[in-house]
Amino acid sequence: MKDNTHIVTIDRHIIDQERLHPEATGAFSNLLTDMALAAKIVSREVNMAGLADILGRVGRTNIQGEVVQKLDVFAQEAIYRAMDHTGHLCCMVSEEHEDFIPIPEKFPAGPYVLVFDPLDGSSNIDVNVSIGTIFSIYRKVTDNERGSVEDCLQAGREQLAAGYVVYGSSTMLVYTTGSGVHGFTLDPSIGEFILSHPDIQIPEPPNRYYSVNEAYYSRWGKGQQRFVDHLKGLGDGPDPGFSSRYIGSLVSDFHRTLLKGGIFMYPADTKSPSGKLRLLYEASPLAWIAEEAGGRASSGSRDILDIVPEELHQRTPLYIGSRALVDQAEEYLAKGE
C-alpha cells in the first residue's frame, strides 16, 4: 500500500538523495531541480499544444535529417534557457544541435555536462500521442573550463544522473542518481512533481509485452526475425503468450516496459545498420535506469552502458527491459542463421 500520508516533492527527494553523498556540494542537486523546472515548462506547452500555434512543422530538417516540429524547437529552447545560466554546466549536447552547445561567455561555467533529447517521439506530437524528454548528466573529464566534445563522449557507465519526462495522461519525471529509480507525477494545480513511484523495479516475471516496429521485419537479420517469430509463437515449442505494444515514442514504450516488464527493441536493419536511436541521449540514459530497476540494456551484442561514443549523434541498436528477455535476444542474434 503506498504511504500517502506524506507528500514528497522532487526538490525534497533530490535533497534527500544528496544527503546520501556526503561529498555533494549541492550544485548537482540544483541541476536536477533546474531540469524539473524545464520539464514543467515543456509540459505546460505540450498540454496547450492543440490550442496555441505550437503544432506543426518548422519547415526545416535537423541534423538527423528529420522534419523539425515546432515543439521540438520549443522544448530545446526551454531546456537550454533553464540550464544555460546556472553556472553548473560547461556545455550541453542536444539531438537538435549538430555540435556541442557551449555556455555563453556571459555566464559562469561549471563541472557538469548535460546531454538531452528535448522532445522524443516528435512524429506523435500532432496526433496527441505521448511524447517525452530524455536527459543525462556527466562530470567533465578535461581541464577545458568551457567544455569540449571530449567531455561529452563518455560511456553511459560514467553518468551521474539519468532521467526522462513522459508527457502522457499525466506528466511524469523518472530519474536515477545510482540509488534506485524514482518516479514523480506532476500535480499541475500546485506545479509540483510529487513522488508517486518510489524505487521502481521491473516486475519479475515480466508482463508478456514485446515492443518493436514490425514493419521493418524484412530488413532484419535472421536472428532478429527468429527471435520475434519465437515471441509470436511461430518458433519451436509452445506459444510463449506475448502481446505486442508499439507507441513509436521511445520514452513511452520504455516507460511501459519499466513499469510492466517485457522488452523494447529498435534493431539494426539493412536501412539503418546501426539502428535509429542515438547512444548518448536516448539509449544510455534509459539503459542506466533499466539496470537500476533490475533490468538490462544491450546493443544486441554488448551492454549499452559500456559503449564509448565516438561521435555525438552516434546511433546504436537497442534491446532494453527485462533482463531474461534481453539475454534471450542476444542469444538469438548470436545464433543468427
Name the binder of 294 from Mn ion, ligand AHG, none, CB < 5-8 A by kind: none
Work out how close the CB of 309 gets to ligand AHG at its nearest, in angstroms, rounded to a whole number.
Answer: 17
Identity at 247, one-letter amino acid code: I
121 is a contact residue toward ligand AHG (CB under 6 A): yes
Name every residue whose Cβ is closer than 8 Å to that of residue 268 and which is 6 or more positions away in sequence. Answer: 221, 274, 275, 300, 317
Question: Could you tell me how many residues of this chain bind ligand AHG (CB under 6 A)?
Answer: 12
168 is a contact residue toward ligand AHG (CB under 6 A): no
Kindly indicate which of the ranges 5-13, 87-95, 138-146, 262-270 contains the residues binding Mn ion, using the contact rule CB under 5 A.
Answer: 87-95
On the question of a cis peptide bond just before residue 205, with omega within 30 degrees of 0, the verdict is yes
State the Cα–Cα distance between residues 111 and 181, nearest whole angstrom: 24
Q: Biggest alpha carbon distance in the chain?
A: 65
- Per-residue string for binding with Mn ion, 258-297, x by CB under 5 A? ----------------------------------------
Contact set for ligand AHG, span 127-166 (CB under 6 A): none
Is the CB of 84 or the CB of 117 nearer to Mn ion?
Answer: 117
Angle between helices 222-231 and 323-335 (to 10 degrees): 140
Is the CB of 120 or the CB of 292 nearer to Mn ion?
Answer: 120
Q: If we measure between CA atoms, which residue out of 188, 190, 170, 75 comes closest to residue 121?
A: 75
Q: Which three cell numbers stand for residue 30?
A: 540544483
Contact set for ligand AHG, span 232-291 (CB under 6 A): 248-250, 266, 276
95 is a contact residue toward Mn ion (CB under 5 A): yes
Is the CB of 153 or the CB of 250 nearer to ligand AHG?
Answer: 250
314 is a contact residue toward ligand AHG (CB under 6 A): no
Is the CB of 84 or the CB of 120 nearer to ligand AHG?
Answer: 120
Name the binder of 223 from ligand AHG, Mn ion, none, CB < 5-8 A by kind: none
State the Cα–Cα distance between residues 12 and 223, nearest whole angstrom: 47
What strand order describes the sheet that includes 89-94?
101-102, 89-94, 112-120, 131-139, 161-167, 171-176, 181-187, 192-197
Contact set for Mn ion, span 105-134 (CB under 5 A): 117, 119-120
State the Cα–Cα distance between residues 334 and 337, nearest whole angstrom: 9
Name the binder of 213 from ligand AHG, Mn ion, none, CB < 5-8 A by kind: ligand AHG
What residues form DSSP beta bridges with 101?
92
The β-bridge relationship of strands 89-94 and 318-321 is unpaired
State the Cα–Cα distance between residues 223 and 319, nearest whole angstrom: 13
96 is a contact residue toward ligand AHG (CB under 6 A): no
Kindly indicate which of the ranges 114-122, 186-194, 302-310, 325-333 contains the residues binding ligand AHG, using the contact rule CB under 6 A.
Answer: 114-122
The residues binding Mn ion (CB under 5 A) are 95, 117, 119-120
Q: Contact positions toward ligand AHG, by CB under 6 A?
A: 66, 95, 117, 120-122, 213, 248-250, 266, 276
